Amino acid sequence: MNKFRELRADEIDCRVSTVSAKGCSLLLYKDARCDMNILDETVKPENWQRTHEVINGNLFCNVSIYNEEAGQWIAKQDVGTESYTEKEKGQASDAFKRACFNWGIGRELYTAPFIWVSEKDVTLKEKEERGQKKLTTYDKFRVTQIIYDRGIIVALAIKNESLGRLVYKYDARPKKE
């Protein structure tokens, strides 16, 4: 079976997770197009397929890859959750991405460190939600560097595109003497 390569920095997106007066935390994620591109590149477009099915009211995705040695399709499956914007499309996309994680695509993202951006490196804004004032940010963040060691993130750099500067740097590589 094929081994999938690790994600490049330009294939990883950042999403704001939590916001407080002290800053915000970020999560790393990949989108479905990234998964499709890696599947096409690694096993070729004709050697993978996806199907969806509803089980107990939940939408599942099967990602199947043709195994030439065994002469059969091998599938891995996972369930999706609804997104805030497009309920059905988001659920189908999430199920697909999660099934691709089961194949190993982007699994290294689970090794990401806790990513905190301090208030001096993010534009915080107040918004009203259900009668309460909450802090948010509309800043856009981008991974500029990522280094792995045996599938584990050992170095990471993130830029706040809105402010035009590096706002997060992580390096857990052993120091050279």
Place of tokens 């997106």: 13
Query: Would you list the domain boundaries of the chain?
Result: 1-30+106-177, 31-105
Q: pLDDT tens digits for 75-113? A: 999 998 876 666 667 789 999 999 999 999 999 999 999
Under 8 Å between Cβ of 64 and 31 = no
Does the model's pTM come out above 0.75?
A: yes
- Domain 31-105, CATH number (from 2.30.30, 1.20.272, 3.40.50, 3.30.160): 3.30.160
**DSSP state string for 124-151:** -EEEEETTEEEEE----EEEEEEEEETT
